[in-house]
Amino acid sequence: MSEPATLQINGTTIDATFAEAFPMKATRLVITAHTPAWAMHAANSLTGFATSVIGCGCEAGVERMLPAGQTPDGRPGVTVLLFAVSSKELAKQIERRVGQCVLTCPTTAVYGGIDAGTSRAPLSDRAPLGSALRFFGDGWQISKMLGDTRYWRVPVMDGEFVCEDTALTVKAVGGGNLILLARDIDAALAAAEAAVAAMRRLPNVIMPFPGGVVRSGSKVGSKYKGASASTNDAFCPTLTGLSARSELGAEVGCVLEIVIDGLTDTDVGAAMTAGIGAAAESGRAAGLLRISAGNYGGKLGPYHFYLHSLAAGLDGSRA
């Protein structure tokens, strides 16, 4: 795809490059509880240690809060999204995380949150939920059908843990990203926080790293045997002028990355557009010098998000 050589938003240069993303499997879970606080306690626990599939098994995050009128049982709730590289790994992560972090949390219940539409999804697209966790009931658990959906009621010390039998899983997209190059740490943090806040207002996406931001961007491979990934020296300010791969000028003092996972490529693209606009709103005057993205020359995944195309319609952009 041909793009203009230069594009700026409020003086911030948008690199003529693309973010490269790859296929994943994902699900949405709806966690409800007696109060919003307890639903969030469970959601935060479930999505802990879930920043990258490289070391965590899955990538997960809180999507949004739900008022009582929008949940299956009429109680306040939270939706979380979980992403993994395979259906098998996703099912393992769901069972472990719900069993350890939601079943254990006072007053909670959990339901599948992907809309199956009017037809039943194939069994191969469903991960065990209550069908696996019901055994904690030690024979006292009760199954109940409501319409075409099976639920399990497991006795626990505060009453019952209610859990839908299975969770629908779908094909999804992982690894969308923005790289923010700034004059200093204050400017980089301000731009990154603004971008994450804008993206979190959109449905169907998560930014799985702490606060939505990652400082330890990585490249594939390492000089050390057995290490699958290592520091992205091309974007390390302390290596400017030392690494042959460096993409930084002397004015860049801090680089931060935002990784985006979404249920569809459209969702990821919309989030990236929102992030670019929010990050560059204050522009170069506030210290954000460039916005770039990470890719592997198109060899990692089939989803390519070209920054100029995403940013072209934003206010303040100019070639």
CA–CA distance, 269 with 170 (Å, rounded to integer): 18
pLDDT of amino acid 200: 98
Distance in angstroms between the alpha carbons of the first and the last residue of the chain = 16
* DSSP code for 210: G
Mean pLDDT estimate for the chain: 94
- Which residue intervals of the chain bear CATH 3.30.70.520? 8-17+173-318, 24-168
CATH architecture group of domain 24-168? 2-Layer Sandwich (3.30)
CA–CA distance, 173 with 268 (Å, rounded to integer): 7
pLDDT of amino acid 5: 65
**How much of the chain exceeds pLDDT 70, in percent?**
95
Instruction: Spell 161-174 as b/e; 16+ CB within 10 A means b.
Output: bbbbbbbbbbebbb
Triad 262, 61, 194: Cα angle to 5°:
80
- Helices 87-101 and 36-46, axial angle in degrees (round to 10): 130
Closest alpha carbon to 256 in 310, 313, 304, 196:
196
Residue 317 is which amino acid? Answer: S
CB-CB contact of 181 with 289 (8 Å): yes
- By DSSP bridging, strand 170-182 and strand 18-32 are antiparallel
Closest alpha carbon to 148 in 129, 125, 164, 128:
164
CB-CB contact of 282 with 10 (8 Å): yes
pLDDT of amino acid 298: 84
Does 123 have pLDDT greater than 90?
no
pLDDT digit string, tens, across residues 24-55: 999 999 999 999 999 999 999 999 999 999 99
The answer as to CATH 1.10.8.100 being correct for domain 8-17+173-318 is: no
Rg (CA), the chain: 21
Residue 130 β-bridge partners: none
